[in-house]
Structure 1
Amino acid sequence: MEGGRTAHSALQLPLNIAEQQFPVYKISGTSGRGQLLKHAKIIFWDECTMAHKKSLEAMDRTLQELRKNSKLMGGALLILSGDFRQTLPVIPKSTPADEINACLKKSHLWPKVQILQLSKNMRVELSKDETAAHFAKILLQIGEGTYPTDQTTGLIELNSDFCNIATTENELIDKIYPNIIQNYTNVEWLFQRAILATKNNIVDDINFNILKKIPGEEKVEKSIDTMVSIEKSVNFPTEFLNSLQVPGMPLHCLRLKIGSPIILLRNLNSPKLCNGTRMIVKQLSNNVIEAELISGKNKGHSIYT
């Protein structure tokens, strides 16, 4: 949604919300965000099915307090959108039962939700693409649990009618980014493709291998790896600091090339520079990166960081 923000950013969701008994959002009524929530008539929460049930309950308590209104959501209309067949709340070291218990459907507020179902895939309808329609049909069957599975393993076996099959990482890269040497300067070509993975270390490995295929000199930027306090350096050696992978931050060794795509990991200047903004590296100097935005309404603009 254009101009939208993630729930954690917009609502200041506590990271440990699952551990709190009666959580609330830390939003001051006099702040800009607080004033916005006070006077908003409609609030849209997309992909809400990934949220913990306590996030919804915290929103109810927070809105009632900010708006001085004891009605549900402080009298504001909250529109939730999402699909429970997709990603559910991520609960570390949990069982499937724990994940289900954390879902919005398990909240005491769920019976008050009016459910409307959207059953027609408008993207497929408008494209009139038979291949896309077949793909959408199989996805729906997988989500409903009606797609055939292996009798012994219970796993879903996909064939070439559904997607391209790649048995190695290099084969996957070549299928998604064919003839990358000739096409990597084509912004539209790059923007139309991406490789998803389940873990960050897999993403890092794939990114490294794709970057090697792009011609040009590689520039390596390293994060600061020294302690402010000399006394604490004994407890935090350089090797340990270099191994840290902090969410929302790049790796210790950031490898870049002119023409390589990059993505912003945090909000710098919303809505122009926000988490998820994609860019292309145009120039690299000792302390400055010039990049061109390839997504959003500011597409084509250059930024310097």
Structure 2
Amino acid sequence: MSRSQTGSMFDNNGFFLNASGGTGKSFVLNMLLDSVRSQGKIALAVASSEIAATVLHGGRTAHNMFKIPVMEYNEIRSCGIKKNSELAKLLKITSLIVWDEVVMANKNTLTALDITLRDVLENDKFMGGIVFVCAGNFRQILPVIRGGGKNEELEHCIKLSYLWEGLTKLEMTENVRLKTNYVRNKSFAKNLLKLGTGESGPVYFLENFGISVKTREELVNKVYDDIENNRLSASYFEKRAIISPTNDDVDSINSMIYEKSEEEEEVAYNSVDTATENDTDI
């Protein structure tokens, strides 16, 4: 907060908030954003993923906010922000940038933002002199590299960026969730944290952890029971979901569910982004 109030007079205006799940990271980030904005200043909130962005007040993805090119990471050199653009004018009066789930971000995207801000703001300090607060948890997913393995993921991690040395590291360690009555299985939550830090051995699921199924058909029948009578019920589908790590499995399971709920002939609607006739008719 003191950095955002004093502008770019400090060289070390970058912070990394290391926080595992349940320590209140999102609460702190939103508190920072709201506090700066309540003073009439500009605070931009971004995240590496779309879902994480929705947690932040006024959050957007970093790619959307800063015009980061969508290309192979080793080809990214700068962001698509022009000096005379409206976004450039906004950045010139910005006091704070918050980037959540930065651990997921490829270090080249952060480098591109740093280079762009220094150029657009004509300030050679870290991130162009804007106070930069990033947050994340190294227990979670690292940058995804197409066709890459563990070494490639580590190579593109923020810890191996020159920016890492310029960040002041702060840490949140007290897990609020474990102190509330809302966590049904606190021992499982504790073991999950130990697993993330390499302190735990094998993970054993309790007998009442969930229902075991042997086939996809059984899984679909358990989750989407009585789908034939609820195929038009929004509330029915809102309370059910099957999560899969691969798109192939998603397509396969979706097809199975659709076949169970299908009653009428399938109709495909194709979208278009150009007018085929008179523009005034649109």
Aligned to 1:63: 117
The answer on 1:118 being equivalent to 2:172 is yes
Aligned to 2:152: 98
Aligned-residue sequence identity (percent) comes to 34
- Residues 92-151 of structure 1 deviation map (CA, whole Å, 9 limit, x = unaligned): 22231111111001111102212222234445545x1342434422322332233323xx
Shift of 1:10: 1.9
AA of the residue aligned to 2:255: F
Aligned to 1:246: none
> What's the TM-score once normalised by structure 1's chain length?
0.62
The answer on 1:196 being equivalent to 2:249 is no
Unmatched tracts of structure 2, length 5 or more: 1-55, 274-282
The answer on 1:29 being equivalent to 2:76 is no
Aligned to 1:10: 65
Count of matched residue pairs: 218
CA RMSD of aligned residues (A): 2.9
Aligned to 1:174: 221
Shift of 1:4: 1.9
TM-aligned CA distance change 1:134 to 1:217, over 3 Å: farther
Higher relative CO (Cα under 8 Å, sequence separation at least 6) belongs to 2
Distance 2:74 2:177 in 1: 39
TM-aligned CA distance change 1:160 to 1:187, over 3 Å: farther
Structure 2 counterparts to residues 112-191 of structure 1, below 5 A: 112-123=166-177, 125-126=179-180, 128-149=181-202, 158=205, 160-181=207-228, 187-188=234-235, 190-191=237-238
AA of the residue aligned to 2:256: N
Q: Which stretches of structure 1, 4 residues or longer, exceed 6 Å deviation after superposition?
A: none
- Residues 54-81 of structure 1 deviation map (CA, whole Å, 9 limit, x = unaligned): 1111111111112121111111112212
User: Which structure has more helix as a fraction of its residues?
Assistant: 2
Distance 1:138 1:91 in 2: 29
The answer on 1:46 being equivalent to 2:93 is no
> What's the TM-score once normalised by structure 2's chain length?
0.66
AA of the residue aligned to 2:251: D
SS at match of 1:219: coil
